[in-house]
Structure 1
Amino acid sequence: MNENQLIFLISQPRSGSSLTQQLLLNNKGITSAPESWQMLSLIHTYKKTNISDGYNPNYASINFLDYLNNIDHGLDTFKQQIKDLALKLYAYNTNGDCYFLDKTPRYYHIIDELYELFPQAKFVFLVRNPLSVFASILDHNFKGNYVNFLSSKDRVEDLFSAPVEIDKALKTYDNKILVKYEDLIENPEQELLKIFNYLELELPESVGTYKVKDDFVNTQAIDTKSLKKHSKPSDSYLNSWKKTINNTQKKKLALDFIEALSKKHVDYFGYDLKDLSNKLRAFKPEKRTLINLSLKSLILEEAQLPFTRLLKKRIILKFQSKHYV
């Protein structure tokens, strides 16, 4: 298998990548499989990380790099071997000259490494309204529990690091295409035409529709629950955040999130963050909480909070747990 047969679909989690994957699989020139995360595992053998469960992979990568650097062309040789192995693994899931689509949202952590290893691959970046992403992670992954959500470091990275890395890649590399989830929902044929033109593939006859492939039906790697309800993109999820943001505490957190983004991004992929803030301010949730915690107070570890703020946080959470969560 050649690297120019690879497509990487990269996004934040909960941005519609599973839907996009199924729509692209309508073309017989593309094959795929449920998320393998294979390049995350391979690249992090030499890339530093902040993960520390079980053993500290960061120390492992540092020591392994020292080992490779004591061998002539050690790191370059190892990267080539990773590339060869990855292509062999991808080849098991494709036939002939078909593309293989690797859809793994958290590849935003290794975008530069993917471009280095596979410069001739195709890169499709998918973005979504950040308020919808926030609400979808809160609802789907945490069942509305905003404390667990915002105390999860990897989920906070999904919120803040992913758009930074995607934006950097869009400005750095020429070989890419950007797709907005909302455009794909509202004009699927037009957006898919852009993607297939980039891939130099013909439009399939049933463009804009899909049937979840058998390999994906019972997997936990993607969210098939909503996919099974439809056979084409549905606009019912465009404003679904209103159901999730069902009390003023969640509204406060969502508003803090959008305003934090506006400080980091002059342009957020064409989304009007000020307009999103205004919509949130005007929105009236079903329930009203008396005292609301800030986003920062939930993201920061308790050891980082002054005693008075920590005490206040615990009292408010105890009160909210009895009445609102």
Structure 2
Amino acid sequence: MNNKKYIYVLSSMRAGSTLLKSLLSTREEIVDLPEIPVHLADEIASLVKEDMVLIKRPRYYLNTKYPYFEFKPESKIIILIRKPYDTILSLHKMNLENNFADIQYHDEQMLLNYWITTYQLLYKSINLNSDNVILVRYEDLIETPLKTTENIFKFLDVSNTKGIDTYENPKGYKWKWGFGDGGDVLKTLKVVNRQNKYLNKKLINLIDTNKAVKEILKNYGY
């Protein structure tokens, strides 16, 4: 058993976890790794010099249990949430660009159900008020990155807690689907507050009329 400290980033897909990981990995204590399998964490941790291992593990579509793994002792947990509208538009774009075969996840209602289930599971299984848990809203991260990252760094108890809004390219690997993003916005190496101008009236109506969405947004501090 190694003496590394583990940081878990839990979220839906397309919630900004790669951006968050890139920002956190600028601290010298946190190793910059791709999206590693949870069961390999100990093996990989033993090979790096950094004290903290960040495990970014969004919930995939077919995960009926989430989180589906045990947390290491004294670990830190970051719950990352993004509002459903922009999350679902990004999911739909990702599915199309990657020729995702399962047609049901090209449907707005199915993608909304995925978002709802993800954050219901997290709310039931993780105590948001626990000392080892911090809630990060994607909108806060891109609107006030300096303040938001400073709060996260203080929570993680790293030596340099100054907030940031820039990061570097991954060290030793490239962004790609399954391990990160690699989109044009992420490659700017800077937090970008880009407003989505695409209007999907069907999706807006589904969100506005869904009681579960309203409850989740309230539970997560929106």
TM-score of the superposed pair, with normalisation by structure 1:
0.57
Cα deviations by residue, 1:28-49 (Å, 9 ceiling, x for unpaired): 110032112x23xx5xxxxxxx
Greater shift, 255-264 or 6-15, is seen at 255-264
3-state SS in 2 of match to 1:106: coil
Matched, 1:130 2:87: no
Per-residue deviation, 1:91: 2.2
The residue that corresponds to 1:74 in the other structure is none
The residue that corresponds to 1:232 in the other structure is 190
Which residue, 182, 195, 199 being the options, matches 2:152? Answer: 195
Q: 1:142 to 1:257 in 2, by over 3 A?
A: farther
The residue that corresponds to 2:52 in the other structure is 99
Counterpart amino acid of residue 202 in structure 2: K
Counterpart amino acid of residue 16 in structure 2: G
Aligned pair count reads 214
The residue that corresponds to 1:256 in the other structure is 206
The residue that corresponds to 1:149 in the other structure is 105
Larger radius of gyration: 1
Matched, 1:22 2:22: yes
Structure having the higher helix fraction is 1
After TM superposition, the structure 1 = structure 2 runs for residues 38-187 of structure 1, keeping only pairs within 5 Å, are 38-39=37-38, 42=39, 86-92=41-47, 94-95=48-49, 98-106=51-59, 109-111=65-67, 113-115=69-71, 118-142=72-96, 148-150=104-106, 155=111, 158-171=114-127, 174=130, 175-187=132-144
After TM superposition, the structure 1 = structure 2 runs for residues 240-251 of structure 1, keeping only pairs within 5 Å, are 240=196, 242-243=197-198, 245=199, 250-251=200-201
Per-residue deviation, 1:124: 0.9
Q: 1:4 to 1:254 in 2, by over 3 A?
A: farther
TM-score of the superposed pair, with normalisation by structure 2:
0.80
Q: Is the 8 A contact 1:212 1:227 kept in 2?
A: no
Counterpart amino acid of residue 158 in structure 1: Y
Per-residue deviation, 1:173: 6.6
% identity of equivalent residues:
25
Measured in 1, the distance between the counterparts of 2:185 and 2:173 equals 10
Measured in 1, the distance between the counterparts of 2:32 and 2:23 equals 12
Counterpart amino acid of residue 146 in structure 2: E
Measured in 1, the distance between the counterparts of 2:157 and 2:192 equals 27
Matched, 1:219 2:176: yes
Measured in 1, the distance between the counterparts of 2:145 and 2:10 equals 18
Q: Is the 8 A contact 2:11 2:58 kept in 1?
A: yes
Measured in 2, the distance between the counterparts of 1:214 and 1:30 equals 12
Structure 2: tracts of 5 or more residues without a match: none
Q: 1:172 to 1:180 in 2, by over 3 A?
A: closer
Matched, 1:33 2:33: yes
Q: Is the 8 A contact 2:128 2:134 kept in 1?
A: no
RMSD: 3.3
Per-residue deviation, 1:24: 0.6
Per-residue deviation, 1:111: 2.6
Measured in 1, the distance between the counterparts of 2:21 and 2:126 equals 20
Counterpart amino acid of residue 208 in structure 1: D
Structure 1: tracts of 5 or more residues without a match: 43-84, 272-325
The residue that corresponds to 1:12 in the other structure is 12
Q: Is the 8 A contact 1:8 1:124 kept in 2?
A: yes
Counterpart amino acid of residue 166 in structure 1: L
The residue that corresponds to 1:299 in the other structure is none
Cα deviations by residue, 1:15-74 (Å, 9 ceiling, x for unpaired): 1100000001111110032112x23xx5xxxxxxxxxxxxxxxxxxxxxxxxxxxxxxxx
3-state SS in 1 of match to 2:140: helix
Q: Is the 8 A contact 2:175 2:181 kept in 1?
A: no
Q: Is the 8 A contact 1:10 1:106 kept in 2?
A: yes
Which residue, 265, 270, 281 being the options, matches 2:221? Answer: 270
